[in-house]
Amino acid sequence: MKRHAMDIVLLALCLGLSACYNALSPTETTLVGPGGLTDRSIPIGALNYVCGDLNDPAEIAKLARADILILSAWQFWETSADLSLIRQANPDIKIVAYFSVKAVQTPWAAGPEGNYTRQLYDTAMPYLAHTTTGDTASDWYGSYLYNFTIPAARSAMLDIFEHFQNTSSNQFDGVFWDYFPPRLYVPADIKEETGLVDLDENGIDHWNDPDEVELFQRSQEAWIDEMRARMGDGFIQIANGVRALEDSTFAAKVDGMFYEDFPAQGYNGAYEFRMALDPAQYNNLFTARTWPRTQNGGPWLLLSHLRSGGTVFGPYPDYSPIPIDADDLTRAVAMLTDATTITYDGTGTRSAGIPEVEYYLGAPLGGVTIDYPTYTREFEHGRIVLTMRTGAYPTPFDYEVYQDGQLLDRSPYPAAN
């Protein structure tokens, strides 16, 4: 086998927000290892578009377990929800605000004047994007596309964000940009307008207008530059969208990027897990983690996923079905790459799930040794060994986690022959 050694700088971002099959027990466990929080080798990330009741201590306790937390700004700038309750429970937490860079939602129009989202909606109206037939454009259900390639539109929208950030008692540590694709994406079943999107209104649709695509991308960069000029260099910026996952120059402008439903975004092929961990793949996670800025606790490589990872059947003679939890797979990848995993609850909605397993193996002792198909990484009190199969769902690889020489956890399906 050809042997590779990769030195991966230690960050406190090798995290798993996940449910896990524990090979040592027939039931799931909430603690794996003897350490306390200071020895937690897999920190936690969470994304919750709508929080639960923050007067509920259980909700606070769940969210406060995160090292980085992505929340909707409207909930904390339009209601009595109080971010300080989360910060009191975890003073080191980083909380970033969701911000839509392209669209305003039609329900926002019904909000009271002065509301954050109502102000965004009203401000966007003079800058609505149009199609090649002059109709108003939409790139998502129940929303209007606004033309952020117009500098005045960006400035007006950021004026609102900056006002609430500076005047509210709920202040955020950064922004989650939703989202930055290489070019505009519109689902095929969007039927809310006639014609095709034409941001510069020159009669040529977006996808056949290279100058417009260039303007579209430069305007994305302007969002980042303008927010940094307003909020300062220490304001965290996380980019959602495929562009940052594939463009190292663009990724260098932000503190991290969001891999939606990892590994589906960023790795286009039948063997996405193999691509994500292949040093020969130009945007593999080992390489991509060197792209973003590092001065704000980054790079934050946020690997998000739903909990369903498919089903396999157990060995002869039982052949009973074994559900695969995507958390298990993403957590193993995070341990190798210092990435950040975000899981969602079991309903399939985009709300934060509760981590059911945490590893306490201490800090990594170095990088990853690759003797393909085996990847190995040593920690202060253990190690992970990952053996690649095809790299595709539902059984892309096998993994084993050891603590002090004892098998702690392993793949929740039969090992490869």
- Model confidence pLDDT, tens digit, residues 60-69: 988 888 889 9
**Residue 25 CA: distances (Å) to CA of 28, 42, 115, 327, 335:** 7, 21, 50, 18, 22
Spatial separation of the C-alpha atoms in residues 385 and 368, rounded to whole Å:
10
Which comes out higher in pLDDT, residue 126 or 360? 126
Checking if the pLDDT of 104 tops 80, the result is yes
pLDDT of residue 206: 97
Share of the chain above pLDDT 70, in %: 83
DSSP 8-state code for residue 72: E
Spatial separation of the C-alpha atoms in residues 179 and 160, rounded to whole Å:
19
Q: Are strands 300-305 and 340-343 parallel, antiparallel or unpaired?
A: parallel
pLDDT of residue 346: 63
Which comes out higher in pLDDT, residue 104 or 414? 104
Please check whether residue 144 is in contact with residue 128, taking contact to mean a CB–CB distance below 8 angstroms. Answer: yes
Spatial separation of the C-alpha atoms in residues 413 and 315, rounded to whole Å:
9
pLDDT of residue 312: 72
**Tokens read off for 244:** 């940052």
Exposed / middle / buried, residue 335 (Cβ in 10 Å: 0-12, 13-18, 19+): buried
pLDDT of residue 304: 86
Global pTM value: 0.87
What phi, psi does 106 have (nearest 5°)? -60, -35
> What is the per-residue pLDDT across 382-396, written as a single tens digit (0 to 9) for each?
999 999 999 988 889
Which comes out higher in pLDDT, residue 374 or 39? 374
Please check whether residue 5 is in contact with residue 370, taking contact to mean a CB–CB distance below 8 angstroms. Answer: yes
Exposed / middle / buried, residue 358 (Cβ in 10 Å: 0-12, 13-18, 19+): buried
Which comes out higher in pLDDT, residue 171 or 345? 171
Please check whether residue 243 is in contact with residue 181, taking contact to mean a CB–CB distance below 8 angstroms. Answer: yes
Share of the chain above pLDDT 90, in %: 62
pLDDT of residue 270: 83
**Minimum mean pLDDT range among 72-76, 254-258, 359-363:** 359-363
* Residue 39 banded pLDDT, cuts 50, 70, 90: low
Helices 151-167 and 116-124: angle between axes, nearest 10 degrees: 170
> What is the per-residue pLDDT across 207-241, written as a single tens digit (0 to 9) for each?
999 999 999 999 999 999 999 999 999 999 999 99
- Dihedral sign for Cα 31, 33, 36, 41, please: negative
Nearest to 393 by CA among 318, 316, 333: 333
Spatial separation of the C-alpha atoms in residues 213 and 207, rounded to whole Å:
7
Q: According to CATH, what is the number of the domain 3-410?
A: 3.20.20.70
Checking if the pLDDT of 112 tops 70, the result is yes
Q: Where are the domains of the chain?
A: 3-410
pLDDT of residue 19: 25
Spatial separation of the C-alpha atoms in residues 395 and 416, rounded to whole Å:
9
Checking if the pLDDT of 38 tops 60, the result is no
For the chain, what is the mean pLDDT?
Answer: 85
Please check whether residue 212 is in contact with residue 130, taking contact to mean a CB–CB distance below 8 angstroms. Answer: no
Please check whether residue 377 is in contact with residue 335, taking contact to mean a CB–CB distance below 8 angstroms. Answer: yes
Checking if the pLDDT of 36 tops 60, the result is no
pLDDT of residue 235: 98
pLDDT of residue 261: 86
3-state secondary structure at position 88: helix
pLDDT of residue 389: 94
pLDDT of residue 45: 81
pLDDT of residue 8: 30
* Residue 34 banded pLDDT, cuts 50, 70, 90: very low
Which comes out higher in pLDDT, residue 347 or 240? 240
Please check whether residue 98 is in contact with residue 72, taking contact to mean a CB–CB distance below 8 angstroms. Answer: yes
- As a whole number, mean pLDDT of residues 332-344 equals 85
Scan for tokens 């040529």, then name that residue.
Answer: 204
> Cis before residue 323, ω within 30 degrees of 0?
no
Nearest to 301 by CA among 288, 313, 314, 312: 288
CA angle 143–149–151, rounded 5-degree value:
115
> What is the per-residue pLDDT across 140-198, written as a single tens digit (0 to 9) for each?
899 999 999 999 999 999 999 999 999 999 999 999 999 999 999 998 888 666 889 99
Please report, as a single letter, which amino acid is at residue 52: G
Spatial separation of the C-alpha atoms in residues 352 and 18, rounded to whole Å:
10
